[in-house]
Amino acid sequence: MSSKKEHKRAEKRYSLVQRVSFTLLAIILFVYGLIAIRNFLWPVAFGFLLSYLFFPVVNWMEKHSVPRILANLIAIIVGLGILFSLGLFAYSKITPVVGDLPQLAENGLRNLADSLSQISEHFGFDKIETRNLIKEQAGNILSSGGQYIQDIFNATTSTIVSFGLLPVYIFLFLYYRTKFAYFLMMIYGREHRQELITILREISKVFARYMGGVLAVVVILCILNSTGLMIVGIRYPIALGIISAVFNFIPYFGTLLGGAVPLLFALIGENNPTMAFHVVILFVIIQFIENNILTPNIVGGNVRVNPFFIITGLVAASLIWGIPGMLLIVPFLAISRIVMSHIDSMKPYAFLIGDKGTAKHSISIENIRKRLRKVSGK
C-alpha cells in the first residue's frame, strides 16, 4: 500500500515538473519569436492600436450611409494628414538644432571638461591633466561617432519603411473588423457571443479614449514645455519643448526622460547652473499639472493597470522590442486585463494586474480627509 502511495506521489511530482518545464519552454519560445520577428510584428501592433483610434470616426460615417471603404479612406487620410502636419511642424523646429549639433557638442564637451577639471582639483588631481584627458576621450568618441550615426540612419530608414505600412494595416483592420469579430465568435461558440461582444466593445471604448487622450496630452505638453522654456530663456525652446513632450508617450519614465533633455542642455550646452535650476522648477510644475490635471481628466483611468506591472512591463518590453515595445506595452496590458476580467478562471490574474485592492493606501484627497478626521477626533 505504501509503495503505491509513493508511486502516486512520484507521478504527481513528475507531472508537475513536466507541466512547469513545458510552460517555461513555451514562454522562452514565445519571447524568442517576439524578438526574432519584431520588425514585422510591431508595425502590425501599431496598426491594430491606431485602428481603434480611427474606429469612432469610421463607425460614425458608416452610420450616416458612407460606404466602409470610403469611410476608411477619409478617416485615414485626414487623421494621418493631421499627424503628418504636426510631425512636419516638429521637424521644422528641430532641424536648426540638428544643424548646430556639431558646434553644440564641441561647446558642451568643453564646458563639461572645464567643470569636471575644477571638481577634480578639490580631490587632489591636476586640473590641466584632467581637462586634457577628458578632451582626449571626448575626441575619440566624436571621431568614432560616424559609425554610430550610420547605424542610427540605417535603423531610421528601416523604421520609416515600417511606418509606411501603417496606413495599409489600419485600413485592413478597419475593413475586416466585422470578419475578425465573427471569426472569434465561431471559435468561442454562440453561447459566449454576448460576452465576446461586451469584451470587444470595452476594448474599443478604452483604446479610443486612451490613444486619443495620450495624443492630446502630448500636444498640450508641447505648448506648455515650449512656453515655459521660452520664459526660462534657454535656446531652441520650441525644439526642446517638443522633444521633451514626445517622451510622454512612455508612461512614468516619459516626463523624467523628457525633462532631462533641456536640463542637460542648460548644464552642458549653456553652462548655466542657474538656468538648469529654473528648468528643474519648470518641469516639477509641469509634472504636477500633467499628473493631476491633464492625464486624469483627458486620459482618465481607462487602462486601470497598476504601476508595478506597467513599470515591469515597460522594462521587459524595452528589452524585447526597444522603444516600440515601450509605446505598445501599456495598451496591450489593458487588453489582457479586460479579457481576463471576463473569464472566471482568469479573474484572479485580472485582479493582480488591475488597479483595485489598494485604494485605502493611495494618496488621495478622500484618504487625506479621513486621516485628518481621525487625528482631529483624537
Can you give the pLDDT at residue 18? 80
Which range, 5-9, 343-347, 361-365, is most confident? 343-347
Crossing angle of helices 101-121/127-143, nearest 10°? 150
The mean of the pLDDT values for the chain is: 77
Distances (CA, A) of 180 to 63, 121, 172, 231, 318: 20, 68, 11, 51, 29
What is the distance of C-alpha 165 from the center of its chain?
21
Map grid coordinates 512520484 to a residue. 10
Count of domains for the chain: 3
294 occurs within a structural domain? yes
The answer to the question of residue 94 being in a domain is yes
Q: At 252, which helix (H) or strand (E)? A: none
| The pLDDT of residue 140 is above 70 | no
Cα-atom radius of gyration of the chain, to the nearest Å?
A: 26
User: 210 and 160, same structural domain?
Assistant: no
The model scores a pTM over 0.85: no
Q: Are residues 120 and 206 in the same domain?
A: no
For 305, list phi and psi in degrees, rounded to 5.
-115, 135
Res 145 pLDDT > 50 = no
Compute the average pLDDT of residues 120-144. 56
Average pLDDT over residues 34-41: 84
Q: What percent of the chain has pLDDT over 90?
A: 5
Say if 278 falls within a structural domain. yes
What is the reported pLDDT for 61?
92
Same domain for 311 and 206? no
For residues 65 and 163, membership in a common domain is answered with yes
- Altogether, the residues listed in the chain come to a count of 378
Please state, in angstroms and rounded to a whole number, the distance separating the CA atoms of residues 328 and 127.
48
Residues 229 and 263 in one domain: yes
The DSSP letter of residue 360 is G
200, burial (CB in 10 Å: exposed 0-12, middle 13-18, buried 19+): middle
Residue 148 predicted with pLDDT over 50: no
Question: How does residue 153 score in pLDDT terms, banded at 50, 70 and 90?
Answer: very low
373, part of any domain: no
pLDDT, mean of residues 280-294: 84
What is the reported pLDDT for 73? 92
Give yes or no for residue 271 having a pLDDT over 80: no
Task: Answer whether residue 18 is part of any domain.
Answer: no
- Let me know whether 49 and 153 are in one domain: yes
Q: Which of 257, 273, 299 is the last residue of a domain?
A: 299
- Side-chain half-sphere CA neighbours of 17 within 13 A: 6
pLDDT above 80 (res 156): no
30 located within any domain: no
148 with 66, same domain: the answer is: yes
* Domain identity same for 289 and 312: no
Flag whether 111 is in a domain: yes
Q: Which domain holds residue 61?
A: 41-175
Do residues 49 and 118 both lie within one domain? yes
Please give the Cα distance from 303 to 190 (Å, whole number).
29
Query: Amino acid identity of 159?
Result: T
Please say which residue of 175, 209, 231 terminates a domain.
175
| 324 and 212 co-located in one domain | no
Q: What is the mean pLDDT of residues 88-104?
A: 67
Same-domain check for residues 241 and 343:
no
The stretch 108-116 carries a mean pLDDT of 59
Contact by Cβ (8 Å): 250, 327:
yes
Query: Is residue 149 included in any domain, yes or no?
Result: yes
pLDDT given for residue 74 in this prediction: 92
What SS3 state is found at 354?
strand
233-270 confidence digits (pLDDT tens): 888 888 888 888 888 888 777 777 888 888 888 877 77
Q: Are 292 and 326 in the same domain?
A: no
Domain end (from 299, 322, 345): 299
Reduce the DSSP state of residue 133 to 3 states and report it.
Answer: helix
